[in-house]
Chain A
Amino acid sequence: MTLIIKPKSEFEVCVEAEITPEIARNLEDAKNFKVYLGKEERRLEELFDLEFVDDREEKVILKGDFSRVKWIGREMKGGEIIVEGNVGMHLGAFMEGGRIVVKGNCDDWVGGMMKGGEIVVEGDTGNRVGCNYWGESEGMKGGRIVIKGNAGNYIGEKMVDGEIVVEGNAGDFVGSEMKGGKIVVRGKAGYTGWDMKGGVIEVGECELSPSFVKDAEGVWRGDVNVKGEGVVRILQD
């Protein structure tokens, strides 16, 4: 089934709603799904209008302003979420499978510590795309994130596997302490590749950490300070 969700009104504080496509399976469960308005625990239907379309999908469509709704698609395992506008922090955090498409922009922490599945953002994102949460030693472990606009700082830090593609520009600290996987920034990036242990970064132009050495093929390898085997290809080099 497809579940269409619209905010009833503007929220007093941000809402936390760990909505996944699974809740589209059953109308009653969806209505009673717990969401949080600050310290108040609410049922989904108290804060949102719900509309069901009886089809063969397992899909959630978010209409209206979700820019202050956090944790959409947390730990999602399958199905699809379409966000028609902007969306709040922690979209698709710890995601394992399925697909999220955002037509607008995202706040920070898109696909934090993601393990699988795909996130496509047609607009821009904030900081820490596919990044590790505080103190954790590993970031993104699998899956794919595509950002058609620009991304903020700290993209794919401590990434182990998977792929992040930024069609526009990215901020500082692309792929810091990366161990594996691939990051592509088609436009410009800020500081790139710091303490990279493994993996590949392809970037239009960037400010490379002064700890890489160019090999005979014109590819930068490092980070020398951690005896890293990372590869940075600067396309406009």
Chain B
Amino acid sequence: MSVIYIKGGIVVDPTQGIDGEIMDIFVKDGKIVEESGAGKADTVIDAKGMTVVAGGIDIHAHIAGPKINAGRAMRPEDMKYARNKSGPLRCAMGRVLMTCPAIGYEYARMGYTTAIEPATPALYAIHTHEELDSIPMVDKAVLPLFGNWHLTFKFAAEGDIEKMKAFIAWAIERSKGFGVKVVNPGGVEAWKYGRNVHSLDERIPGFEATPAEVLSTLIKASIELNLPHKVHVHCNNLGVPGSAETTAETIKLAEKIGASKDGRESLHITHIQFNAYTGEKWRDMGSGAEELSKLVNRTPVTVDMGQPIFGHTTTMTADGPFEFALHKLFKSKWINKDVEIETGGGIVPITYRAKSPVNAVQWATGLEFGLLVDADKVVISTDYPNGGPFVEYPYIMTLLMSRKFREKEIEEKGVNSYIEKATSLPSLDVERTFYEIVKMTRSTPAKILGLENKGTLKVGADADITIYPFDCRNVSPEDYEVLLKGLRSVAYTIKDGEIVVKDGEIAKEVWGRTFWVNAVKGATQEIIEEDLNEVFRYYTVSRGNYGVREEWIRRPETIAIEE
């Protein structure tokens, strides 16, 4: 490990309240250190005129596991694009869907250093970790799916928080996961009967529980377990007119329960854009972003955008009934997977067209959230690959920072004028500052994930650093082209104290850590022994073969929760 001085850069670090101060940053042994503790520099980066921020964090991107991999196999027409030829580095393939080497390289080239895979069936966790282990450059973690597990339904119906705590701790330990993901609670189980659930208070087929009870018990159990990241939910009724109401009800569940013990929010609504439509039919569909943003701003809830990008992509989610609906709508190819008695999933290719009124509203709605929710509560995401490629984050940042750029895009792309009636975007004059953008890509996701050493340049933090080749104090929303170019072309990315990108090109391939949360001490495991044994009668794998051992992972790092 070496010592790096980053001299004279313009530092932006919202965690420390630093907004554009000229400072030196010192890096040693993978950490940010005081000048006095740094010792002699091996490398000095002259960052004069450049902006120094922490490495970016993607809180929600489907980058590893059986879903994206089935998507790759189904779409050779998307995978045939070569991003990098084999040489000292790996060959990197894919247009929107990408191979593992491509995912790692593209994150690093964008100045991102951490990414969270947000949905794996625990049954497939071994596979998901194999793929995470094949993604170079970034730190990562994975959220196992809880929202349609038979045991979740059972403990939710019984309202048994203690058992739910034990179950969460057990499942996260077995899957070497990071937190609790919920997708369309109850709806994926209902899909196994060819149905869906349509409201939070509907009984889940075959069980006594309702989606509201599933969510409430999981949120309460996660709070009591002190998980670093609380419940991460893909709401019911995703992707249909009227979904805004379901989202509002979901947020109110968290409001009723309250914040976490440490004061942080207790619920993360992911890709909220996809769950924020008003109206009853596609004909009168509109954006519910204004109302929902107000609600988010006053409740213990955080969100990420789920911004669509016009063009081709592949949707993939554990929300099996939603993917079936997409398949029927677009008559396109369709993968479905019903997973034992715990979850399911689907994959369908789609295209977002600026001229389509529905897609235009989706595009505008995502941006409304990015503009209207407090920067401490909203994170930039495309819900990769559902909204589009994560490599477009600089484009989203620029849209949020420049009204003129938004107007230009609406004009040039011919975004359907229905957005004037159905969304507030055309009239919004909000322009995010660079400081807010750094929050939305660094400090806010770090806070939501409970990763104290991420998303900041404070002493002791991980030395994950992005250096942009421009002075953030001089960028003007008027010069959006300069801004976009600057955000797209990172001067340096530093990962764990090593220069991994220089002038936009990969300088070194490195392997990040995989964080997982061990909360088994936070709950009495014995109380669910019988339930587990009972439920494994209906699995097709033995309990002894269920789960991942730490030694099978390339660079595991345990976050242990004490009692």
Residues of A within 8 A of B (CB): 133-137
| Closest A residue, CB atoms, query B78 | A135
Residues from chain A with Cβ under 8 Å of B75 in the complex: 135
Q: State the main secondary structure of chain B at its contact with A.
A: helix
Interchain CA distance A144-B74 in the complex, whole Å: 30
When distances are taken between beta carbons in the complex, the residues of chain B under 8 Å from A134 are: 76-77
CA–CA, A183 to B77, complex, Å? Answer: 25
Question: Contact string, B280-311, partner A, CB cutoff 8 A, digits 1/0?
Answer: 00000000000000000000000000000000
10 contacts between A and B (CB under 8 A): A133-B77, A134-B76, A134-B77, A135-B74, A135-B75, A135-B76, A135-B77, A135-B78, A136-B77, A137-B77
Chain A residue nearest to B77 (CB atoms) is A135
A-contacting residues, B62-90, CB 8 Å: 74-78
Q: How far is the CB of A133 from chain B (nearest CB, A)?
A: 7
Chain A residues with Cβ below 8 Å from B78 are 135
Measured CB to CB, the closest approach of chain A to B310, in angstroms, equals 18
Instruction: With CB as the reference atom, state the residue of chain B lying closest to A136.
Output: B77
Q: Which 9 A-B pairs have the closest CB atoms?
A: A135-B77, A134-B76, A135-B76, A136-B77, A135-B75, A134-B77, A133-B77, A135-B74, A135-B78
Q: Give the docked Cα–Cα distance between A133 and B76 (Å).
A: 9
B385 to nearest A CB, angstroms?
15
* Closest chain A CB from B317 CB (angstroms): 21
Instruction: Count chain A CB atoms within 10 A of each CB in B74, B75, B77 and give the residue with the most.
Output: B77
Residues of A within 8 A of B77 (CB): 133-137
Name which residue of chain B comes closest to A133, CB basis: B77
CB distance from B333 to the nearest CB of A (A): 9
Chain A's nearest CB lies how many Å from the CB of B342? 30
A136–B75 Cα gap in the complex (Å)?
A: 8
A111–B191 alpha-carbon span in the complex (Å): 43
A67 to B552 Cα, complex, angstroms = 48
Q: Which residues of A contact B74 (CB under 8 A)?
A: 135
In the complex, A134→B74 CA distance in Å?
10
Contacts of A133 in B (CB 8 A): 77
CB distance from B79 to the nearest CB of A (A): 8
Query: How far apart are A163's CB and chain B's nearest CB, in angstroms?
Result: 25
How far, in whole Å, are A190 and B74 apart by their CA atoms in the complex?
27
Sample of 8 more A-B contacts, CB < 8 Å, known A133-B77, A135-B78: A134-B76, A134-B77, A135-B74, A135-B75, A135-B76, A135-B77, A136-B77, A137-B77
In the assembled complex, how far is the CB of residue B145 from the closest CB belonging to chain A, in whole angstroms? 28
Chain A nearest Cβ from B499, distance in angstroms: 31
A23 to B76, alpha carbons, bound, how many Å?
Answer: 31
- Which residues of chain B have C-beta atoms less than 8 A from A135's C-beta? 74-78
